[in-house]
Amino acid sequence: MSRILTIGEPMVLFAADELGPLYEINHFTKYLAGSEVNVSIGLKRLNHDVTYVTKLGNDPFGKYIYNFLQHERIDTSHVMFDDKYPTGFQIKGKTLKGDPDVFYFRKGSAASHVSIKDIKTIDFAKYDHIHLTGIFPALSDITRETIYEILKISEDKGIQISFDPNLRPTLWKSQEYMIQTINDIAFHCNIVLPGIQEGLILTGSDDHEKIADFYLEKGTSIVAVKLGENGAFVKTKNEKFYVKGYKVARVVDTVGAGDGFAVGFISAILEGLPIKEAAMRGNAIGSLQVMTPGDNDGLPNRYQLENYIREKGENNENTISNR
């Protein structure tokens, strides 16, 4: 299997057990959250070798996250502890429709201080793929510089990079700077995975093909535009197609669906499967994730994934469309 490197900020998540405004909620369940760590967990459950890079506070939250990563058999050799800065956390509401309310407590976190110096010990030559998101460079000037150093090293060594914009406007000093920086990073990546609304913000268009063309014209090889329950639109220099979404009986929580898509898409590409199958796998894992309350508890192992696709596939013959 492939060797994958990710870098990001993991956080402890307290998800409301009851409906209602968060200030009225008395009971929460603890989970692990963070886009890059979700992707790490998902890829490892599909038997890929994953190294996760981050910095945790030397506190109970940091120890919880570290133990969680080790339990998932993720390589933690580049997970650092910091005595000065804390581990970030978030609280998430519960809703029956749409996206839940999420509040972050991450400013000045240990992960926001991961520097170029901290990645000097990484042997990048041993990795086949690097996955990045737009969250980590938004944390601080330090993490932004670190991302650009990773991009430089990756390009020098010819390592394939996937990038999920994962916009967090409140973390940036302005929307204009966010757009400029996120697009600049995306232009250095081989695979770009924007959501349709992210595409509108980043390119000025909500036309999925125009969004794809925006990045393809700058040198990106593959663009997969996530369309929510409608599936995904994928375009390369040589082909384009839609892949319909998997219908689910009940959506519990939409958070983490995009990370699930990234897990499916990236893993399939690394396994040498056709891009259409990669998009189908992405949609499958995304649909599994929305049926669970946490950000990564719906991410399947290979046996669970194959069974799910087989069961759904019997009624999914027209999943691919070239319209």
Active site residues per annotation: 259
Nearest of 52, 54, 158, 174 to residue 114 by alpha carbon: 54
DSSP state of 7: E
Q: Quick one: how far is CA 147 from the chain centroid? A: 15
Left (φ > 0), alpha (ψ -120 to 50) or beta: where does 204 sit? left
Residue partners of 12: CB distance under 8 A and separation at least 6:
30, 31, 32, 33, 61, 64, 65, 87, 88, 89, 90
Residue 15 near residue 28, CB atoms below 8 Å:
yes
- The token pair that represents 46 in the structure block: 């599909």
Element (H, E) at 13: strand 11-16
Residue 7 near residue 34, CB atoms below 8 Å:
no
Coil, helix or strand for 223?
A: strand
